[in-house]
Structure 1
Amino acid sequence: MEYRKLGNTSLELSTITYGAFAIGGNMWGGNEQKDSIASVKASIDHGVTTLDTAPFYGFGLSEQMIGEAIKGYDRSKIQLLSKFGLVWDGSNQGKGEFFFDAEEAGKKIPVYKYASRANVMKEVEESLQRLQTDYIDLLQIHWPDSTTPIAETMEGLELLIQQGKIRAAGVSNYSVPQVAEAQKSVNIASNQVGYSMLNRGIEKELVPYAREHNLGIIVYSPMERGLLTGKYLESGQLKDNDHRNGYFQQFDLEKVKVFLDTIRPIAAAKNATLSQLVLRWTSLQPAIAVVLAGARNADQAIANAKAMEVDLTAEELQFINTALAKI
């Protein structure tokens, strides 16, 4: 495993970081809690010291399971990353920006973006309880909230740093102008954004900005929610309540299949899976500090961790990029 310093902070994170969205269950067709906890433990045992979660993932369940899974480990050697700013329980009292209706047990649950200073302080206390810890290594606003001034949100993060409840502040899904505005109020360590072989939009503005300002980029959905594993292009079946049934339709699936077949021999030559090849390619892109990878069980977690053992030459990277250009 490789460990990388995050931005201009003292945090060192495992390049492959455990992404805990799917273990929350909502939107992913559910998962067995014992398998989820086993996947977290297996990750840690194989060098993945960084775990990324959020209150919204399973409406608190993901954080609770992370808290249970890390019992017995040296907390000082584990980096917990969480978020705030998505509210679903009505505690925003009608404030904030409506985001979408989530579904849980057949019921629609309205979710709002709400990142007032007071809500930042409230949510972190709830996360600390669920995670069973007294500090969070990196706290990130989950999505921009157009109804709250960025400076107000960042003031809350700065206060939490001063109180010792968080070690560093980050943002998620922020544009370059939003990051620049946030940095006026607090030292922003990172921006967590979607990025993959099929989604390279951040390379135009965010990557150059990050390199110039020593901002860490944390990548989510590098596997495009499983599409780049190739298994859903063959015989993989998704449950009816799995959001990926619609998500995958944005891509030209035939071209994706041709691309994966083109790079498959590279993975085979290295005794690696397509997933490991994709994760390793992602980790080698400019300004990328951390690559989030989800796992539903211990075997998947171990495979993700071993992606960093895949050695790619400059020629192989160029071959992959040339194949990508044809999609």
Structure 2
Amino acid sequence: MEYIKLGNTDIEVSRITFGSWAAGGWMWGGTEQNDAVGAIHASYDLGVTSIDTAPIYGQGLSEEIVGEAIKSLPRDKVQILTKFGMRWDLAKGDFAMKTKNNDGQDLDVYKYAGRDSIIKECEDSLRRLGTDYIDLYQQHWPDVTTPIDETMEAAARLLEQGKIRAIGVSNYSVAQMEEALKTVELVSNQVPYSMLRRDIEKDVLPFCQRHDMSILAYSPMQLGLLTGKMKPGQHFDASDLRSTNRLFKPENVTRVNEFLEKIRPLAESKNATLGQLVLRWTLAQPGLSVALVGARNAEQAIQNARTTDFELVTHEVDFITERLEQMQQQPA
């Protein structure tokens, strides 16, 4: 496994980080807790020391699963990355979405990052995680109803109290990061990034590089589309967010699979899966610190962790990028 420091801190995280959204079941068609705990342990055994979670994932369930998993692990050897600012139990702030919980009940979710809310959320997360500190505390989504300085002042207070070790954001624009940096030192921005979604390369990524902020890429496998295992017209339950995602339309799945077939020989030459090759390419992108990758069971977790077992040299990265750009130039 490869490791990298978050921003200017001494917090070292694994470049493959366990993403536990799917482990919480919410919007992924349910979960099996024992499988998720086993997946985290299997990742840790192969050097994946960092786990990313959030209260909204399963409305506390993902954090509880992570808490259960780390009980038997040395706490100082594990980095817990969690978030704040999405409330399903309080109708306040910026309305985010109507959804359903794991039991199929209607749920209204709000982006809210007021001072008192953040303090409460932190205590709730610490309890669910069974720990007395969080390594990286990230604002999950910007909240347009709360001034950024109020949000960051509350996070700074938690930092002073030792309840968190570093402050990060997620889904922040350059303007929002500039505003936040007036109040605190941000160490990271967690943003969507994959072969099929590279828009952060225009402004967010260069800004983070200039300000020594780490980029944590979520959905690097584009919700499983880049594994090569998706078939055109594949059925997803209504509770699965892929059921309405335009990238999973049959014609797009076909196009992506054709691209993946072109790079398959390179994966085979490395004794790697297509998914591992995709992740390796992602980590090779300048300024990209960490890839957050989900796993529902130990087998998937082991595959993800073994991404760093092989190298890609410059001309191999270029070969993949050229094939990718050829695909993207085709009419959708």
Write out aligned runs for 1:1-327 (5 A).
1-90=1-90, 94-104=91-101, 105-233=103-231, 237-249=235-247, 252-326=252-326, 327=328
Letter in 1 for 2:119: M
**Structure 1 stretches lacking a partner, 5+ long:** none
Letter in 2 for 1:120: I
Distance in 2 (CA, whole Å) between partners of 1:37 and 1:239 is 24
Distance in 2 (CA, whole Å) between partners of 1:169 and 1:116 is 16
Letter in 2 for 1:100: M
**Structure 2 stretches lacking a partner, 5+ long:** none
Deviation at 1:235, TM superposition (A): 8.6
Per-residue CA deviation, residues 197-228 of structure 1 (Å, 9 max, x unaligned), is 00000001011111111110000000001000
Q: Percent identity?
A: 53
310-319 or 221-230: which moved more? 310-319
CA gap 1:236/1:254 in 2 versus in 1, 3 angstroms: closer
1:232 is paired with a residue whose SS is coil
Using the size of structure 2 for normalisation, the TM-score is 0.95
Deviation at 1:234, TM superposition (A): 6.3
1:224 is paired with a residue whose SS is coil
CA gap 1:58/1:125 in 2 versus in 1, 3 angstroms: same
Distance in 2 (CA, whole Å) between partners of 1:264 and 1:80 is 34
Deviation at 1:106, TM superposition (A): 2.4
Deviation at 1:238, TM superposition (A): 3.0
1:325 is paired with a residue whose SS is helix
Distance in 2 (CA, whole Å) between partners of 1:233 and 1:281 is 23
CA gap 1:250/1:185 in 2 versus in 1, 3 angstroms: farther
189-198 or 207-216: which moved more? 207-216
4-13 or 147-156: which moved more? 4-13
277-286 or 131-140: which moved more? 277-286
Answer whether contact 2:4 2:289 (CA < 8 A) is retained.
yes
2:165 is paired with a residue whose SS is strand
Letter in 2 for 1:9: T
Letter in 1 for 2:310: V
Using the size of structure 1 for normalisation, the TM-score is 0.97
297-306 or 245-254: which moved more? 245-254
Letter in 2 for 1:317: V
Root-mean-square deviation (Å):
1.3
Distance in 1 (CA, whole Å) between partners of 2:301 and 2:132 is 26
